[in-house]
Structure 1
Amino acid sequence: MNTLHYAHWPAGLPTHLTVPATSVYVNLQISALRYPDKPAIIYYDSILTYRQLHEAVLALAGYLQEHCGVQRGDRVLLDMQNSPQWVIAYFAILRADAMVVPVNPMLMTEELRHYVEDSGAKVALASQDVFARLAPLVRTTGLVTAIVATYSDYLTVATDLKVPDFITAARDVPHAAGVIAWSEALAEGGVLQEHLAQPDDLACMPYTSGTTGKPKGCVHTHSSVMFTAAGAPHWATSMVPDQVTLAVLPFFHVTGMQISMNAVIVGGGTMVILPRWDRDVAGQLITRYQVTVWTNIPTMVIDLLSNPRLADYDLSGLRRISGGGAAMPAAIAQKLLDLTGLTFMEGYGLSETMASTHTNPPQRMKQQCLGIPIFNVDSRIIDPTTWLELPQGEVGEIIIHGPQVMQGYWNDPQKTADSFIDIDGKRFLRTGDLGYQDTEGFFFFTDRLKRMINASGYKVWPAEVESMMYKHPAIEECCIIASRDAYRGETVKAVVVRKPGAVASADDIMHWAHETMAAYKVPKRIEFVTALPKSATGKVMWRALQEKELAQE
């Protein structure tokens, strides 16, 4: 294990961290005991205290157990935008000894079908703005019950903030078999069983795609979720209950879930929830509640700093601005530094590692750098073919051993076996990302061993998009590649061969794609060709198309 980076370790912190040996739910239970009347959530000026949050969690957990039959180890789908209900649902599922299956609320029906069938979820908690996409699966698959939430139920005070229509919408839950309104479920509650979950029990299963196209569940226990939840607040900001976090990264994504929600709950802090990015509302919330911590993606910072009304907002309360998913442009980082005196803290993590494994130390932050391995993490650079460790400066595959690494992929022992290697008696996750270490032990990303597109922090897997694009009646062949984008970093491009006689236009195909898949996967550019380049064995030579695209830019 290389320890070069210890010379730049955050002052006063040990390199090893011991985290609570309890379930993740207990974090909320303890904070509710300690800070019952303190705001846990601020939602467009409406406040939910820790006592109120915990009471709602217990009521919903009782309903899940008594009326939905949820048992230890069951998987429960969670399909909502950031909201008080998302937080309540998450902890209620854990209190019921079940495993949270968080899904992107942008997913369409056929995409959701895979999550339901693969996870074996019998119960789903969804919001009414997305429920129409989930509804066709209730009682036509293994999904027996759906609890449908209305965001406006938690708007309890008047506000001068701009609230989206889908948040203010009145309750409109359909009357159908297997469907119940959130408000009714909480009102009915149920008899709670003893909380049995231990650190090695199933806790959360975020999905990630891959080269084969179908999303795969990353199996995390309470122990792996607990590690980043409890460790993150220690790294750069004191874990005190007076920290205020702007929670705008989606909770279904591990960074938003862990850094903007779970870490806040561990410390008894307050999360100011913004369901959808709005630079003006973000500026107002940062000002109004003197937000101290904001984790984001670079496009949000770019948008905020380009706001003509920026001078109207008071950003002086901010103590840490951090993020990942894509490198922060140097010019934007400098502008942020000039305005706030804060250096953007970049980090690195995966769904497979339940957020951060590498972060820049607060006293030695390098830009466009993944940072150094955090507590208890052994990360190395190896030759992806020989598996031999490489010296500083040489590019190879980033591998990770640490307590936050997943158990494996759900119901896929072969993919699990392919994703891990044993070195020095340790089990390392192969990330598929290429990078190097500098002479101080800091890690830098250079390229991908795996085929993936990073669009504003959303990971798009070409094979998954291609499999859906082939369902279009006019498409004979399709290859998905990345195209550079000034705002998103990368965007999705489709190179398409139309079937003989087909006349579908690029607009026609993009419109169809919007109806078929989540918006971030939809090709923003389409190029029609007469044939795709292929190898002697008939495989599409996607890399040749990718290199040609990059050469044109």
Structure 2
Amino acid sequence: MKHTAHFDYWPKRVAKTLTVPESTIYDNLAITAKKYPNKSAYEFYGGSATYGELLGEVDQVAGYLEHHCQVKKGDRVLLLMQNSPQFLISLFAILRVRAVAVAINPMSTTEDLQFFLEDGEIHLAFVGQELYPKIEPLIGTTMLKTVISTAYSEYIIEERALGIIPDVVKAPVQQLAKTISWKAALNSGSTPSAYKGKSDDMAMIPYTSGTTGTPKGCIHTNRTIQANTTGSYHWMTMSPDTVTLTSLPLFHVTGLTHSALNPILAGSEMIILTRWDRDYAIKAMEHFKISHWINISTMLIDFLANPKLAEYDISSLELVGGGGATLPVAVGEKLRQWTGLDYVEGYGLSETMSHTHFNPPNRPKLQCLGIPAFGVDARIIDPATGAELGADEEGELVVNAPQLFKGYYHRKEETKASHIELGGQQFFRTGDIVRMDDEGYFYMVDRVKRMINAAGYKVWPTEVESILYKHPAIQQACVVRYPDEVRGETVKALIILNEEYKGKVTDDEIIEWSKTQMASYKYPRIIEFRDSFPTTSSGKILWRQLQEA
């Protein structure tokens, strides 16, 4: 049965229903550029552009993609870049030619990238030059043939920056052998053909991880992305004069939706940070009068720990919120003390293009997922039987929503297995165990899956274990989550060493080795050596027993 108790706490003066526009994500930028051509779209370490200029560069790059690279509707294009104007230009250029953007975590290894290229059948990639060494071995050895590379320094004005510019952003343009330069793509003089994008065009494939640790591509159309872009625009009361701090990674659905797609729909300004820097952020807040900031708890903890906090005026802040990891109560209280604002938490997945739940900004609850967003039918079921549960009963969260993905790319069986039918409707099984209070607010209890949530990043123990087994000293490994004050959870590896290595290999050595083998958010921060593991009669490690211990 659909729950309605939460409507009593719905944000004031916001309609309880939302008609999702038939226009596309590219249309949002084109319409904003028509309405506000001379308004600042972004500021990036001293560099900036108006909406008219941003749209102009998007169309120029789109023309290059169409006429020089023969990119067609439905082609998947890799986007491997840190936060920058080029990320936005590349994304919208891909959408302009009705291709599909596959934005990938810049921390991915060459092995990770090979999987994404092969799984997505990708021929072309936009790459930040600092990430080029990771992808260079894959040019020609996979389907990847064309790489357009860029240096972030092409868009900065050093003397106008508010603070220290990260080295990766300042780095001068490199001439890379197997790539097309950003300037060549931008200045080719090619005009794209008339735009005929449709609401149901496939637009983006963000990747998530399954219970086994194998990433899965989530098919999103313009319509599914618009549902959350338009919904959160209204929920957050955005306007052309909102100023957003774009500090969350844009490859991630939360950062992209709330820190880029929302402001572009509103016609407001984005202050883009490539790397999190609390000193730069606080200067930007005062200088640009930042009003909206969606973050993860680790950023906010670091921000509020800044000893210079009292030296700056951050009274322009109107809304601070986020998700990914629960915010400690003491941090929420400190935020209220400094700003008078309550932290607005939300909950979502790659399968739902960011949030399905959000706290009402006028009545948030701390350490709470929030209430179902526009058009979201959220229910709780017994994960074993599928029977629906009521208030204060713990079970698996399932959702039917306009932002729900169209399925996993090339994975029909897994798509089918991830859904359940209730009352003639298809619901997505999130795999998360939640409970709902009598006011219709949802709370996380645990995960059905064995996932570790490290500072908002999903880490799959099976994947980390498989990499650890490559180390010659490691006989057996079991990875568990471990509480961490800053990251929420962190990765701990329990290890049995091969006999000849006992007493000769230290925990620090294994941690340092792990850093070279996997993305920085995945490697174990804690190593514990053991002589044995509890196992089943067939020899399988009882990881749950080790986790509880």
Say yes or no: TM over 0.5: yes
Please say if 1:236 is aligned against 2:236. yes
1:166 CA drift (Å): 0.9
Secondary structure of the structure 2 residue equivalent to 1:333 = helix
Check the 8 A contact 2:162/2:284 in 1, yes or no. no
User: Is the CA contact 2:162–2:283 (under 8 Å) kept in the aligned structure 1?
Assistant: no
Give the secondary-structure state (helix, strand or coil) at the position aligned to 1:501. helix
Structure-2 separation of matches of 1:362 and 1:251: 23
Q: Specify the alignment match of 1:15 in structure 2.
A: 16
- What's the counterpart of residue 529 of structure 2? 528
SS in 1 for 2:187: helix
Q: Where do residues 221-232 of structure 1 align in structure 2 (5 Å cutoff)?
A: 221-232=221-232
**Residues 136-535 of structure 1 correspond to what in structure 2 (within 5 A)?**
136-156=137-157, 158=159, 159-176=161-178, 179-237=179-237, 239-502=238-501, 503-535=504-536
- Secondary structure of 1:19 counterpart: coil
Q: Write the letter of the residue equivalent to 2:35.
A: R
Q: Distance in 2 between matches of 1:156 and 1:45?
A: 5
Q: 1:189 offset after TM fit, Å? A: 4.5
Aligned-residue offset at 1:363: 2.1
Structure 1 residue ranges, 4+ long, deviating more than 6 angstroms after superposition:
none
Contact 1:173 1:180 in 2 (8 A): no
Cα 1:191/1:524, change in 2 over 3 Å: same
Q: How does 1:73-84 map to 2 (within 5 A)?
A: 73-84=74-85
What's the CA shift string for 1:341-384, capped at 9, x where partnerless?
A: 10000111111100111111122211111110011110011111
Q: Measure, in 1, the Cα distance between the counterparts of 2:199 and 2:465.
A: 39
> Per-residue deviation at 1:494?
1.1
Cα RMSD (Å): 1.2
Q: Report how many aligned residue pairs link the two structures.
A: 545
Q: Distance in 2 between matches of 1:244 and 1:419?
A: 38
Instruction: Give the distance between the partners of 1:468 and 1:219, measured in 2 at CA.
Output: 28
C-alpha contact (below 8 Å) 1:72/1:197 kept by paired residues: no
Question: Which segment drifts farther, 457-466 or 267-276?
Answer: 457-466
SS in 2 for 1:516: coil
CA distance in 2, matches of 1:310, 1:92: 39
Offset at residue 501 of structure 1 (A): 1.9
> What's the TM-score, normalizing by structure 1?
0.97
Residue-by-residue CA offset, 1:81-128 (whole Å, 9 max, x unaligned): 100011111101101111110101011111111111111111000101
Distance in 1, matches of 2:267 and 2:42, equals 11
Amino acid at match of 1:267: A
Aligned residues with identical type, % of pairs: 47
Q: Is the 8 A contact 2:45 2:157 kept in 1?
A: no
Q: Which amino acid aligns with 1:144?
A: K
- CA offsets 1:428-468 (integer angstroms, 9 cap, x no match): 11011111110111111111111101111111111222222
> Once structures 1 and 2 are overlaid, which stretch shifts more, 258-267 or 504-513?
504-513
Distance 1:361 1:285 in 2: 26
TM-score (norm 2): 0.97
**8 Å CA contact 1:247, 1:256 repeated in 2:** yes
1:148–1:173 contact (8 Å) kept in structure 2: no
Structure 2 residue aligned with 1:94: 95
Q: Which amino acid aligns with 1:391?
A: G
- Structure 1 residues 189 and 399, CA, compared in 2 at 3 Å: closer, same or farther? farther
Q: Which moved more, 1:346-355 or 1:477-486?
A: 477-486
User: Does the 8 Å CA contact 2:40/2:49 hold for their aligned counterparts?
Assistant: yes
C-alpha separation between the residues in 1 aligned to 2:112 and 2:128? 17
1:93 alignment partner, SS class: helix
Q: Give the Å deviation of 1:418.
A: 1.1
TM-fit CA distance, 1:194: 3.0
Report SS of the residue matched to 1:446: strand
Question: Within 2, Cα distance between the matches of 1:191 and 1:236?
Answer: 36
Match of 1:111 in 2: 112
Give the drift of 1:22: 1.9
C-alpha distance in 1, partners of 2:461/2:27?
Answer: 39
The whole-number CA distance in structure 2 between the counterparts of 1:139 and 1:533 is 46
Q: Which amino acid aligns with 1:57?
A: V
Give 3-state SS (helix, strand or coil) of 2:500's partner: coil
Distance 2:221 2:532 in 1: 47
**Could you tell me which amino acid in structure 1 is paired with residue 195 of structure 2?**
H
Q: Provide, for residues 21-51 of structure 1, a one-character-per-residue CA deviation record: whole Å limited to 9, x for no partner.
A: 0221111011111111111011112211111
Q: Which amino acid aligns with 2:168?
A: F
Provide the secondary structure at the position in 1 that maps to 2:3. Answer: coil
Match of 1:551 in 2: none
Contact map agreement 1:76 1:122 (CA 8 A) in 2? yes
Deviation string for 1:58-87 (max 9, x for gaps)? 111111111112111011000111000111
Supply the distance in 2 between the matched residues of 1:160 and 1:133 (Cα, whole angstroms).
31
1:491–1:523: 8 Å Cα contact kept in structure 2?
yes
